[in-house]
Amino acid sequence: MIGGHSEVTYGIDRPIVPGSMLGEVTRDRLIKTGGAQEGDSIVITKGLAIEGTALLALERAEDLRRAGVNDDTITQCINLLDSVGVR
């Protein structure tokens, strides 16, 4: 990730995450956006991952409970919003 931005914006029903990616890969392993498929993995770390975790816990707490996530963990995840730089 060479640039990007994430934020909490009320009134929008899903996270918006613009960004620019830069890296090297051999031609036979290159996947262009047109080749992306449902189920492909995306690895996200640091600030964006923290905010994404918090927002998912806030917006999908009931789904998480049904999946077996306990209330303490959900609350801890929601509280991560306190550590996000842009609000």
- pTM for the predicted model, two decimal places: 0.51
Domain of residue 20 covers 3-83
How many domains, the chain?
1
Alpha carbon distance 75, 27 (integer Å): 44
Q: What is the token pair recorded at 46?
A: 């640091």
* Residue 5: pLDDT band with limits 50, 70, 90: low
pLDDT band at 40 (very low <50, low <70, confident <90, very high): confident
7's tokens: 């934020």
Average pLDDT over residues 35-59: 81
Gap between the Cα atoms of 13 and 51, Å rounded: 15
Reported as a pLDDT band with limits 50, 70 and 90, residue 67 is: very high
d(CA 60, CA 73): 13
* Higher pLDDT, residue 39 or 68: 68
Task: List C-alpha distances in Å: 49 to 23, 26, 58, 79.
Answer: 20, 27, 14, 14
